[in-house]
Amino acid sequence: MEKLVNLCKRRGIIFPSSDIYGGLSSTWDYGPLGVELKRNVKEAWWREMVQRRLDVLGLDAAILMHPRTWEASGHLQSFTDPLVDCKSCKQRFRADHLDSNRCPECGGELTEARQFNLMLKTFMGPVEDTASTIYLRPETAQGIFVNFPNIVDTQRVKLPFGVAQIGKSFRNEITPGNFIFRTREFEQMEMEFFIKPDPEEEAKWFEYWLTERFGWYVKFGINADHLRLRPHEKDELSHYSRGTTDIEFLYPFGWGELEGVAKRGSYDLDRHAEFSGKDLTYFEEETRSRFRPWVIEPAAGVDRALLAFLLDSYDEDVVENEERIVLRLDPRLAPIKAAVFPLLRKGGQPEKAQEVLRMLQRQFVVAYDQAGSIGRRYRRQDEVGTPFGITIDHQTMEDNTVTLRDRDSTVQDRIAINELARVLEERIGWLK
Ligand code: GAP
């Protein structure tokens, strides 16, 4: 993990937040390459979960929600972790993460566990009193539930259907850490899939979404041996869940949650109907009946997915007797798709390279580098995962062809410039 954290900082993928002030604990900023990678992870999810389906719609709800939302959702009362303090070294721990009732750092005695609410509070407007208290959402899901009647009334949807959104969530975690694995500000990609209230339908769609979501990680480059499914024990289920299975990833610190797939039943719609007094039912034409649907929820973290993709793509090998670091990222996720290099800084090569750059930039994120030996330039791109290197050389000036180097195999093909965009599109493979 340390090697990856260093690479991320050195190459502008992820920086410690507020770095010049010594950083803010467990808070991270995505740099110029990180922001591209993150956008691609979200794009990969959005395309698969929303745009390529007819049964899932998108939504972008506000982070700030009416405070009654959190009473209704149960988060005010139940979204807590048990907190203990060490009486000797004063460190804080989550009681449910400890193996014994002694301090894991110094062996000291621990206080009794206190329940600690994880929601971050702030105030709406200039007066800071209880009436103006508002919460930063701890999950994006509630924005979907409160919009259920808006979606049903405006979209002519038919069960089963899903509503998906990507956005920031906030939790006042007691023990954040492990780089971007657990932070207080993070991004989620969640989908609420509404189904008929029937245990057989529930079992069918739960299996369906577990398989889909597991497959998504493999499709975008995670080694399937580094993934496993772990059903929750009864006593670890969230307050809203009738059953949850985590998709876990093998992080350097051990197996940990990557995504949770939960059966939320009609818990959320029931509670919001009760607290708002509004009708949150769905009308089924065939049976002429009204009911509140049940829900299957695949809930993923953008940052955790990005961490898993980085960890599984990190590699070190030797090319032409030189060691290199290479991120073997799926080309669809890679922050930069190709880099253009003039072999020499003369003979019209830089001008030609700029021309190729501008042509490709219409479709792709492309870098340009003319500093240092060609070998060094390839390596600079390898370590940020750029899948293709395009070199303009003396032959280019004669026949309008370039060399196209593959990051993983380092094999080079000669390609005509007017074929380049099509070949890149094919090899990047959005169409797959
Ligand atoms: N709506 C259900 C829900 O929020 P969750 O299991 O608490 O379920 C879903 O969160 C996903 O969000 C997790 O699997 C993880 O990827 C991500 N996540 C949750 N807490 C996080 C944190 N503190 N830092 C980074 N990612 C987090």
Same domain, 44 and 192: yes
pLDDT bin (cut points 50, 70, 90) of residue 131 is confident
One domain for residues 35 and 175: yes
Listed residue (317, 310, 239) closest to 271, CA to CA: 239
Determine the 3-state secondary structure of 167 from DSSP.
Answer: strand
For residue 221 the two structure tokens come to 């480059």
Mean pLDDT of 147-173: 97
Q: pTM of the prediction?
A: 0.96
Quick one: average pLDDT of 71-86? Answer: 93
- For residue 284, report the distance from its CA to the centre of ligand 1, in Å: 33
- The pLDDT of 378-389, averaged and rounded, is 98
Confidence of residue 244 (pLDDT cuts 50, 70, 90): very high
Q: Are residues 287 and 344 in the same domain?
A: no
Note whether 233 and 155 are same-domain residues.
yes
Asked whether 173 lines ligand 1 (CB < 6 A), one says yes
* Residue 342: C-alpha distances to residues 202, 352, 391, 393, 397 (Å): 58, 8, 6, 6, 11
Residues 6+ apart with CB under 8 A from 32: 12
337-349 tens-digit pLDDT: 999 999 999 999 9
Grade residue 431 by pLDDT with cuts at 50, 70 and 90.
low
Of the residues 295, 310, 325, which one is the last residue of a structural domain?
310
d(CA 35, CA 26): 18
In the reported structure, the alpha carbon of residue 191 is separated from the centroid of ligand 1 by a whole-number distance in angstroms of: 13
- Of 321, 324, 371, the closest CA to residue 343 belongs to 371
* Region of poorest pLDDT, from 114-118, 277-281, 350-354: 114-118
Q: Report d(CA 339, CA 391) in Å as an integer.
A: 8
Residues 290 and 357 in one domain: no
Domain count, the chain: 2
Q: Please say which residue of 253, 276, 310 terminates a domain.
A: 310
Rounded to the nearest integer, the mean pLDDT of the chain is 96
Q: Is 301 in the pocket of ligand 1 (CB under 6 A)?
A: yes
In the reported structure, the alpha carbon of residue 106 is separated from the centroid of ligand 1 by a whole-number distance in angstroms of: 30
Burial (CB count within 10 angstroms: exposed 0-12, middle 13-18, buried 19+), residue 118:
middle
Note if the bond before 176 is cis, omega within 30 degrees: no
Please choose from 188, 237, 245, 249 the residue to mutate so as to test ligand 1's pocket, defined by most ligand atoms within 8 A of CB.
188
Which structure tokens are listed for 272?
A: 């919001």
Q: What is the pLDDT of residues 26-60, one digit of tens each?
A: 999 999 999 999 999 999 999 999 999 999 999 99
Is the separation of the CB atoms in 146 and 135 below 8 Å?
no
Nearest CA to ligand 1 atom 25: 182
Atom of ligand 1 minimally distant from the CA of 190: 1
Print the domain residue range for 352: 336-428
Nearest residue CA, atom 20 of ligand 1?
A: 182
Q: Based on the fold, state whether residues 306 and 392 are members of the same structural domain.
A: no
